[in-house]
Structure 1
Amino acid sequence: MDMSKQELNEMVKPIMSPTRREWTNIDKTIACLLFFLHALCIFAPFHFTWSAFWVAVVLYSITGLFGITISYHRNLSHKSFKLPKWLEYLFSYCGVQAFQGDPIDWVSTHRCHHQFVDTDNDPHDSNQGFWFSHITWVLDSYNLTKKVCGKYFNESKETKKYLFKETKKYLFALVTKHERPDNVKDLEKQIFYTFIHKTYLLHPIALAVLLYMVGGLPFVLWGMCVRIVMSYHAIFMVNSVCHKWGKKQWNTTDLSRNNWWVSLLTFGEGWHNNHHAFEYSARYGLEWWQLDFAWYVIMFLKAIGVATDVKLPTQSHKQRMKLEHIN
C-alpha cells in the first residue's frame, strides 16, 4: 500500500546544516576529493593544449553518454533495455571512469530517489534547497545511509558510534554509505560489479596514470580534473535545476521539469519530467524536437540487433497522463 507524502516526510528528520552536524570519515574523504578536483581545475588554463582539450571532450562524451546516461541510468537503474553482458559491462566501466561512484552505489541511490522522489526520504530531496539537491547531499553519509539503507539502519548509540568511525571495508573502495543497500541485489549477484565496488579507486587512478604517460600534466588536468568536475555539475543539475526550473508536461506528483539546456549537457537527461512520468522508458526526449543523444545510440544498437527489449511509453499511457494533467 502506497504511503502519503506526509507519512514519507515523517520517516526521516530534516537534514542538519553541514556546519552544525558532525562529519563522518566518509564525509571528510568525499569533501577532500571534491575540493582537490575543483582546486586543480584552476591550473588547467595554464596548461592548455588543444590535444588535452579534445581528450577532455572525448572522455566527457564516453563517460557521460555511454557510462552514466546509457549504462548507469537507463540500463542498470531502470532496465529500460537489455544488452549482451560483454557490452553491458563495457558501458558500465565507462561510467566507472566518470568518478561518480561504482555501479552498485550509484544505482542504489538513484532507485531510492525514484521511490521517494521529492520527500525527506529522497537522497537529494529538492525541497531542502538548491545546493542540497545539487551537491551537498553527497557530503552527509549518515543521512544518505539512513535513506538508502533504512532496512539495516537504527538510531541506537552503538550504530552512531560505528558510523562515525572509519567504515571502509576495502582500501580502494569509494563509498558514500555505511551499510549495504537492499535495492541492488541484481547487481550484487554479479562478480563484475562486486569487483568494481571493492576496487573502485584503482580504475580512475589507472586512467590518470595512462593519461600522464601519454600527454603529461595537461592531459591529467583536462582529461581528469576538468572533465570530471564538468561531468559532476552537469549530472547534478538534473537533481537540482530540473527539479526547480523548466516545463512540466506530465501529471507527475513530484517537482521534475523538462529543461532543454541541461539536456544538451547530459545527452538527453534534461527531459526529466518525461523521465519521471515514464520511468521505464529508454527514450526521454519524447517529442521529435527534444534532442536525446542517448536514445539515438540505443536506437542504433536496437537496429543492429544488440539492444533488445527496448521499452517505450504506450500511447494510452501518455494519453492517460495528459488527461490527468489537463483535469
Structure 2
Amino acid sequence: MAFLDHVLQPPAYGWQDENGDLVKPSSKQIWHEFFSRLNVFKDRKNWLGFFSWLKVICLVPFFLLFVFKFFSVWMLLIAFLYSMIIMGTHGTIWYHRYCTHGAYKFKNNFWRFLTQNLTLKIIPEEIYVVSHHVHHAKSDRPGDPYNAFGGFLYCFLADVNHQPIAKDLSKEDYNRAVQLMKHTGLKTNTYEQYQKWGSLANPGMAILYWIVNWSFWYLAFYLMGGHALACTIFGAAGFWAVGVRTFNYEGHGKGEDKRQDGVDYSRDDMSINQLWPGFVAGEWHNNHHLFPKSARTGFMPHQVDFAWYYIKFLSMIGGVSFYRDSKQQFLEQYHQPYLESKKNASALNAEVVPNILTSEP
C-alpha cells in the first residue's frame, strides 16, 4: 500500500485530516485547486491536466455546430449512439478492463492499436490508469481520488485535482508507475524527462497522437457523411467527455449507501450496479468491484455487456489471446447462496405462520 499511498499528487486541502477522516473541501477550494492545476504558466508540470481539458474545449464548437446547424432526428440518433454506447463501451473496453485491470490480453500490437483507436482520443491513459489502481485500493476512503463522499465537484474535477501522478516520485517509484502503463503501449518519459514534465507521458508525443487521431476520424466521418456527420460525432464525443466525469459519483451512490440485497453483492465499498451505465457501456460497477480483473461484468441474464461482447468477439477471431471471465465464480460464491438463503427464509416463514395461527392464546 505504501506506493499507492503517495503515487498521486495530493490536493492542497489534503486527503484526510489529523483524525484520519476525509477532508471535504468547499466548492471554492475545489475550484481554486482546479484552476491552479490548469495553470501551465505557473508550472509546466500541469500540462497533462490542461491538455485533457483543452481537448474537451476544442470539441465545444463541434457540439454547437451540431445543435444549431446540422441538427436533425437522424443526427440526434447518431450522436446518442456514438456518445452513449460507442464511446462509453470503448472506455470500458480500453481504459477500464485492459489498461487498468489487464482483464484480457491482445494477441499482438495490431489488435491493441486498433482497439485503442476505435474512437476519438480524449482521456490520457496515464490520468485514468494510475489513479484507478488507487481507487480500488482505497474505495470510498480518504485517498480515493474520486471519493463520492467528497461530493459531486470532488468527483467531477478529479481528473485535474486528484488523479495526476505526484511530481516528486523517487526513481524507484517512478519506474513502478511506468510498469503500471507498460502493457498499454504508452511511450513513457525517462526519469529525467519526468522531473521536467511531471508525467509519464511525453507532451510532444501526446500532442502528435492527438492530432493524428482526430484528423483521421474527422476525415473518415467527412467522407461518410460530410461536415454534418463529422461535427455531430465530434460534438457527441465532447458530450461524453463531460458526462463520463459524473460516473464515479453516481456509481458510488452519490455518497450514500444505495446498495440493494440481491443486486449489489460487493460490500467492501459503496459501488452499485446501475441499469443505464450497464446497458450502454457494460459498466456493472458493483460486479466490477467484486471481480475487477474479469473481462465480463454482466453476470446476470439482464445485464447486457457490450464491452464483453467485443472482447469475446476478438477472442473468437484471434485478436485476444487470453481473458478472465468470473461469471461462474460470481454465481457460485454470491448469487446461488443468496437465492438459497431467500428460499430458506421463505420456508421458515411458511412454517412459523401456521404455528402462530393454530397456537392457543
Q: Please, what TM-score do these two structures have when normalized by structure 2?
A: 0.64
2:154 to 103, 111, 132: 132
1:225 is matched with: 235
The amino acid across from 1:263 in the alignment is G
Q: CA deviation at 1:275?
A: 0.3
Aligned residues: 286
**What is the CA–CA distance in structure 1 between the aligned matches of 2:22 and 2:229, rounded to whole Å?**
44
1:113 is matched with: 135
1:68 is matched with: 91
Q: Does 1:202 align with 2:214?
A: no
- How do 1:270-289 residues align onto structure 2 when only pairs under 5 Å count? 271-289=284-302
**In percent, how many aligned pairs have the same letter?**
22
Kept in 1, the 8 Å contact 2:294–2:326? The answer is: yes
Comparing 217-226 and 45-54, the one that deviates more? 45-54
**What is the CA–CA distance in structure 2 between the aligned matches of 1:94 and 1:212, rounded to whole Å?**
13
1:236 is matched with: 245
1:253 to 248, 268, 293: 268
**What is the CA–CA distance in structure 1 between the aligned matches of 2:167 and 2:245, rounded to whole Å?**
24
Kept in 2, the 8 Å contact 1:68–1:98? The answer is: no
Q: CA deviation at 1:259?
A: 0.3
Q: CA deviation at 1:71?
A: 1.9
Q: Please, what TM-score do these two structures have when normalized by structure 1?
A: 0.70
Instruction: Report the secondary structure of 1:82's partner residue.
Output: strand
1:152 is matched with: 169
Q: CA deviation at 1:136?
A: 1.8
Q: CA deviation at 1:277?
A: 0.6
**What is the CA–CA distance in structure 2 between the aligned matches of 1:299 and 1:28, rounded to whole Å?**
36
1:264 is matched with: 279
Comparing 204-213 and 287-296, the one that deviates more? 204-213
Note the aligned Cα RMSD (angstroms): 3.9
**What is the CA–CA distance in structure 1 between the aligned matches of 2:299 and 2:185, rounded to whole Å?**
35
Instruction: Report the secondary structure of 1:152's partner residue.
Output: coil
Kept in 2, the 8 Å contact 1:55–1:223? The answer is: yes
Q: CA deviation at 1:40?
A: 5.2
Select the structure of larger CA radius of gyration. Answer: 2
Q: CA deviation at 1:282?
A: 0.9
1:82 is matched with: 105
**What is the CA–CA distance in structure 2 between the aligned matches of 1:93 and 1:42, rounded to whole Å?**
25
Where does the alignment leave 5 or more consecutive residues of structure 1 unmatched? 154-178
**What is the CA–CA distance in structure 2 between the aligned matches of 1:251 and 1:39, rounded to whole Å?**
42
Kept in 2, the 8 Å contact 1:211–1:223? The answer is: no
Instruction: Report the secondary structure of 1:23's partner residue.
Output: helix
Kept in 2, the 8 Å contact 1:211–1:219? The answer is: no
